[in-house]
Structure formats: structure tokens, C-alpha cells
């Protein structure tokens, strides 16, 4: 055993500030817990203090959203050993006490004690590539705006159902690259069923086709007639006046704004993903499209940081840990759901694409179909498919990156 003195540094991270505690192998507090702000000057002072300790120093902190990143990054760049531990692990660490004390100072000491106990198994924090950080941030923004988009879409449909019910069901054109959606643009222009029926059929058909040409949509006499006949049968609950028109326009324009934002984020995600070395191999996977590919890369990150495939599966939270005690051995286990919920969502979308398109030549589809034929419930074979896909992803991407480095 080395005679070098060990110092375990526990940092309890919070927004804008942290509490730092330093203890030695005997559990003695070398530095009483003190507060630092997440500023350049305070972090440089902390770096100097930790480097002045006469012995081997290891820093442990909790994975807390994005708050830990400036602290971990600066300390790591300074040459100090930094380990970022999952919050659930530190929460379950008992600190060898039956007393439950919850203060920032006590938490900092607890984290430092965890560092001492697991000294040899602490994993060194590695600074993530800027491109990967940007891709992940863009993906999280995409999910944030997507929730708003769904809410805005439902809101507009609710308004349209009071002015021209069923209008949104007439048009199935996908969203254009500029973010515009045909049925939304139609709702802005032909906002009320009484407005539509205020024209003759021939006049409305001419008006509709001219509008389509002006807005770069495909015109159709039959579609115009279908819209006109539907408007004649509508029973509106909001009157045909300027106030109603204003409400429809505001709801529609809000939806289009969010649609344009999503389109811009998709382009940015593709641009960032194309700069990463694994982009070609990820996009070659069956079921992975233009957006799902960058989303997978954003949430998984550099696959080489997982030293075996089971670590990646646990990170996604689609693993089913064993549950056994004495003679009892559970055969009906649930997945842990302790990992990234965004990654699980993306995986479910990939598996759904495989099933919807019946891609019988794909090994993941074959695996899922076999589980279905065995009579497994929907959720069971979907999770099994996600697990299978991740195993193949890990092997192929890691092999591809190794070949790229060797070339």
C-alpha cells in the first residue's frame, strides 16, 4: 500500500455555488466545509487550495443537471482527478450512520466519505467534446419545443372545431422544410365555414387554387370542392367576426412559429451530427432516420465511454436488475428506468419505425417478431427490442470507431 496521504474532496453542487469538504483516510475533516461560487476567481482559488494539499487528491461530486459542469471542467483541466457520480448512488450511500441529516455541509462530507470508501473504483471524469455537448443541448431544446408544439397544435384544432370542424383532417401534407403546414395555412386564410360558403363553388375553387399557387402548395379542384362541401355542413359555435378571425390567426401563427423553430433545430442537429466520426455508421442502421440518428448520437454520446454493452443498457434504463431473496426469485421484473428518459424515448421511436414498416430483414425486427409470436405483451417485446438494438449499436459503432482510429 502506498504511504502517500490521501485526501478525498466532496463537493455538494447547487445552482451557482457549491459546498466543499476535505477529509483524510481517518475520516478527519482537513478543511471545514466552505462555500465557493461558480465564478472563475473562486474556482481558481479552489484549484490552488486543492493542489497545495500534500498528498494524492481525488474530487467527487454529484451529477446534478448542468450545474456541475463548470466546476468539473475547470478542475479537470487543471490536472486534478475529478469523478462525477450519479445522484442516485450518492443518495443511497448511508455514510455509516442511522441519523438522517440533510444540510449542504453534511452532504459535502458524505460525498467525501463516499470518495474514501470507493477510492480505487472512482472513474475519472472526461471532458466531453464541444460538438457532442452542443448536439445534446440542441436535442434537449428540440424536445422542449416539441412539447409546446403538440400543445399548440391541440389548441388550434380546438379553436378550428368551433369555426370549421374537420378542416385539419382534410389535409395530410407533411410539414415543409420552412416549417409551414398546409392545413394551418389554410386555417389562417379560410378561417370560418361561413366565410368559405360566402362564395360560390366556382369562385371559391378559383380563390383556393390561386392561394395554393401563391403559397407554393399544389392546388386541386377536387380538394377545393371537398372543403366547400364540408363547410356547408359545418355547425360553427363561434361567430364570423373579426374577433374570431384574430383568435384563429394567433393560434395558427403560434403553431407555425414553433414549427419553424423545430425545423431550424433539426437542421442544426444534422449539421452537428455530421461532424462526429460515427455519423455514417449510425445513419446506416435500419429504422434510424434523418432526425432519429442525431438524437441517438446526442443522448448516447461517445459510445467508447461505456466499457461494456451492459453499461450502455443500464444508462438507457432498459435493463431489468435481478430481484432474489432466499427462496424467492422474481421472474416478472421491471426495467430500472434509472437512466436517460430521452434516450428511452428515442429508442422506442426507432423500434416503432421498425414495426410499422415491417422490415423483416432487420435482426432487431426479427427478434421482436419472435417475442410477439411467443405471446409476450407489447411493452415486454418493445423493451426487448430496445435492448437488442442497443447491443448491436454498441458493437457496430465501437468497432467502426476503432477501425477509423487504426486507419
The domain spans of the chain are: 6-121, 133-269, 279-406
pLDDT, residue 99, reads 63
Q: Count of CB atoms within 10 A of residue 11's CB?
A: 27
* pLDDT, tens only, 317-340: 887 766 666 666 666 677 777 778
Q: For residue 20, list its beta bridge partners.
A: 11, 34
- CATH class for the domain made up of 6-121: alpha beta
* pLDDT, tens only, 280-299: 999 999 889 899 999 999 99
Residue 374 pLDDT greater than 70, yes or no: yes
Alpha helices in 274-340 (DSSP H): 279-283, 292-300, 309-316
User: How sure is the predictor about 82, in pLDDT bands with cuts at 50, 70 and 90?
Assistant: very high
CA distances from 243 to 163, 167, 191 (A): 12, 20, 12
Average pLDDT over residues 212-232: 92
Task: In whole angstroms, give the CA distance from residue 39 to residue 170.
Answer: 56
pLDDT, residue 325, reads 65
Q: What is the DSSP string of 89-100?
A: HHHH--TT-SS-
Q: What is the dihedral of CA 111, 117, 123, 126, to 10 degrees?
A: 30
pLDDT, residue 1, reads 41
* pLDDT, tens only, 359-371: 788 899 999 999 9
Instruction: Please report which helix (H) or strand (E) contains residue 264, including its range.
Output: helix 242-273
* pLDDT, tens only, 150-198: 999 999 999 999 999 989 889 888 888 888 999 999 999 999 999 999 9
Cα–Cα nearest to 371, from 357, 355, 385: 385
- pTM summary value: 0.83
Q: Count of CB atoms within 10 A of residue 337's CB?
A: 11
Query: Is residue 336 left, alpha or beta, with left meaning phi > 0 and alpha meaning psi from -120 to 50?
Result: alpha
| Fold held by 133-269 | Helix Hairpins (1.10.287)
Q: Which of 4-18, 269-283, 299-313 has the highest mean pLDDT?
A: 269-283
Q: What is the dihedral of CA 122, 125, 126, 128, to 10 degrees?
A: 140
pLDDT, residue 329, reads 64
pLDDT, residue 66, reads 82
pLDDT, residue 101, reads 67
Amino acid at each position: 500500500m502506498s504511504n502517500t496521504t490521501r485526501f478525498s474532496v466532496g463537493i455538494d453542487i447547487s445552482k451557482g455555488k457549491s459546498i466543499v469538504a476535505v477529509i483524510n483516510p481517518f475520516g478527519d475533516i482537513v478543511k471545514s466545509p466552505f462555500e465557493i461560487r461558480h465564478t472563475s476567481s473562486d474556482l481558481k482559488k479552489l484549484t490552488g487550495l486543492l493542489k497545495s494539499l500534500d498528498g494524492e487528491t481525488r474530487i467527487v461530486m454529484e451529477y446534478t443537471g448542468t450545474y456541475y459542469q463548470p466546476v468539473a471542467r475547470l478542475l479537470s483541466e487543471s490536472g486534478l482527478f475529478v469523478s462525477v457520480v450519479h445522484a442516485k448512488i450518492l443518495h443511497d450511500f448511508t455514510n455509516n450512520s442511522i441519523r438522517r441529516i440533510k444540510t449542504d455541509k453534511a452532504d459535502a462530507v458524505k460525498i467525501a466519505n463516499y470518495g474514501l470508501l470507493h477510492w480505487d473504483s472512482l472513474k475519472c471524469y472526461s471532458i466531453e467534446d464541444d460538438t457532442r455537448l452542443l448536439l445534446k443541448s440542441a436535442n434537449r431544446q428540440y424536445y422542449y419545443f416539441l412539447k409546446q408544439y403538440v400543445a399548440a397544435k391541440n389548441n388550434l384544432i380546438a379553436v378550428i372545431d368551433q369555426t370549421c370542424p374537420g378542416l385539419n383532417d382534410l389535409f395530410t401534407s407533411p410539414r415543409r422544410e420552412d416549417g409551414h403546414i398546409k392545413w394551418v395555412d389554410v386555417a389562417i386564410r379560410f378561417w370560418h365555414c361561413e366565410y368559405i360558403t360566402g362564395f360560390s363553388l366556382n369562385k371559391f375553387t378559383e380563390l383556393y387554387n390561386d392561394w395554393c399557387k401563391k403559397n407554393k402548395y399544389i392546388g386541386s379542384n377536387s380538394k377545393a370542392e371537398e372543403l366547400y362541401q364540408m363547410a356547408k355542413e359545418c355547425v360553427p359555435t363561434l361567430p364570423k367576426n373579426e374577433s374570431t378571425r384574430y383568435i384563429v390567426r394567433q393560434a395558427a401563427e403560434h403553431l407555425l412559429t414553433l414549427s419553424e423553430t423545430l425545423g431550424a433545430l433539426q437542421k442544426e442537429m444534422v449539421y452537428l451530427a455530421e461532424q462526429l466520426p460515427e455519423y455514417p455508421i449510425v445513419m446506416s442502421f435500419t429504422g434510424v432516420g434523418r432526425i432519429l440518428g442525431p438524437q441517438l448520437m446526442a443522448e448516447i454520446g461517445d459510445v467508447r465511454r461505456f466499457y461494456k454493452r451492459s453499461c450502455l443498457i443500464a444508462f438507457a434504463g432498459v435493463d431489468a436488475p435481478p430481484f432474489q431473496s432466499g427462496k424467492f426469485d422474481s421472474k416478472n421484473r421491471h426495467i430500472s428506468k434509472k437512466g436517460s428518459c430521452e434516450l428511452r424515448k428515442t429508442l422506442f421511436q426507432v423500434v416503432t419505425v421498425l414495426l410499422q414498416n415491417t422490415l423483416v430483414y432487420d435482426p432487431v425486427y426479427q427478434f421482436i417478431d419472435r417475442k410477439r409470436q411467443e405471446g409476450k405483451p407489447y411493452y415486454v417485446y418493445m423493451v426487448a427490442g430496445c435492448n437488442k438494438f442497443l447491443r448491436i449499436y454498441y458493437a457496430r459503432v465501437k468497432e467502426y470507431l476503432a477501425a477509423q482510429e487504426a486507419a
